[in-house]
Amino acid sequence: MDMREIILAKYGEIALKGLNKHSFEEMLVKNIKRRLNPHGKFSYSRAQSTIYITPQDDQQDMDGAMEILSKVFGIASICRAYEVPKDFAEIKAQAAVLFDEKLSQARTFKVAAKRADKRYPMNSPEICTELGAMLLEKYPHLTVRVKNPEVTVTVEIREKSAYLHAGAEEGAGGIPVGSSGRAMLLLSGGIDSPVAGYMIAKRGVRVSAIHFESPPYTSERARLKVEKLAKKISEYCGNIEFFCVPFTEIQEQMRVHCPEEYFTVIMRRLMMEIAQRICAEQGIQALITGESIGQVASQTMDAMVCTDAVCRMPVFRPVVGMDKKEIIAISRRIDTFDISVEPYEDCCTVFTPKHPKTKPVLADVERAQLAYDYEPLIQKAVAETRFSLISFYQ
């Protein structure tokens, strides 16, 4: 029998708690297909909390497929495995061939066995003992080590076949995007907001993004940087609907009419207002920001209270309790950090006051905002918002 290399994508049962298992699985398979389709031809089947991904010809780039799958939320672990007949003599023979190179070079190994098919005539310890003995005989230089061996020869006995692999890699975790509603990420060019979007998508939320720009104070390249960030997180989030709001006129009027100390908090309230109107048009239910308490003067709790006073929908701030160091660690892991630190201006920084009020009082902020009627400009900004689709595979 020729040996087929396939990919096993496993989803943990824990993630299924409280969710409808069937729709969870459908969603996950759909997301995997959508990601892998541009990459090659695969067939999909599922059994026992595992999705079996089989390449349809020998040309498939399996490393590339693994890389893509490592970013699909809902997958707890992934591994490349060989499908072999369940006959134990066959398993032994194939294991010797498949692991020859690895075992020849290693000094320590162990055999791990999982038996999903409980009717199989041997139990897991028996499989480990027999296969281990056979391999020790063939490779007398090897020692068995249970803790941290160099090679783990893994045998999984499942319904249809047996599978041989060298152990699984950790998957992206979380739950499949699309199973938890939609939210709008306020995406700046900084470090925090892309991480915030990633974290909420991990919980199954489909993420759209909104960006406020103020040309000519902010450049075209600053916007392109934000689009690059959106594209980067789309490797995890899937396609992102991207809304770009022209914010120049509002900021110019604010500069004239708004006391400098309230500039940031009022600007934030106006951003939230515009974002919510676009959410209403799009059927999006919540907002996401990259704010973290006390990180900068405008992110105090008092400022958040004043911002949230204009919010009619939940505002998710997944990095709210994290230190900058922790946020940076995630941004490096998801590969947004290097883009985020490119030195382009953001509309927030262009007009930022030197001394924002760290403890704004809501009544004072509301009074300050009444000094000018922003409503016509809000409507104009919403009407002139540009939409584009940021896709993970183009």
CA distances from 263 to 19, 37, 239, 377, 382 (A): 44, 47, 34, 16, 21
Residue 311: φ, ψ to 5°: -95, 130
User: Could you tell which of Mg ion, ligand ATP, none binds residue 179, using a CB distance below 5 to 8 A set by kind?
Assistant: none
Binding status of residue 269 toward ligand ATP by CB under 6 A = no
Q: Pick from 211, 225, 232, 269 the residue near ligand ATP by CB under 6 A.
A: 211
Considering the complex, state which of residue 152 and residue 188 has its C-beta at the smaller distance from Mg ion.
188
Q: Which entry of Mg ion, ligand ATP, none binds 192, CB below 5 to 8 A by partner kind?
A: ligand ATP
If phi over 0 gives left and psi between -120 and 50 gives alpha, with beta otherwise, what is residue 88?
A: alpha
The answer to whether residue 186 forms part of the interface with ligand ATP (CB under 6 A) is yes
CA distance 340 to 88: 53
Stretch that binds ligand ATP, among 64-72, 78-86, 181-189, 198-206 (CB under 6 A): 181-189
Residue owning tokens 């199954």: 204
Q: Which C-beta is closer to ligand ATP: that of 171 or that of 290?
A: 290
Q: How far is the CB of 213 from Mg ion (least distance, A)?
A: 13
Contact between 244 and 185 under an 8 Å Cβ cutoff? The reply is: no
Structure tokens, 33: 């297909």
For residue 169, give the nearest of 152, 157, 144 by alpha carbon.
152
The amino acid at residue 367 is: R
Q: Which residue number, 154 or 188, has a Cβ lying nearer to Mg ion?
A: 188
Looking at 85-93, 176-184, 200-208, 294-302, which segment touches ligand ATP (CB under 6 A)? 294-302
List the one residue from 149, 190, 238, 360 that touches Mg ion (CB under 5 A).
190
**Comparison of 166 and 310: residue with beta carbon closer to ligand ATP:** 310
Angle between helices 263-282 and 375-383 (to 10 degrees): 50
Residue 188 lies near Mg ion (rule: CB under 5 A): yes
| Residue from the set 295, 350, 371, 393 that interacts with ligand ATP by CB under 6 A | 295
- Number of Cβ within 10 Å of residue 325's Cβ equals 7
200 near ligand ATP, judged by CB under 6 A: no
Among 19, 106, 122, 296, binds ligand ATP (CB under 6 A): 296
Is residue 307 within the footprint of ligand ATP (CB under 6 A)? no
Provide the token pair at 13: 């049962």
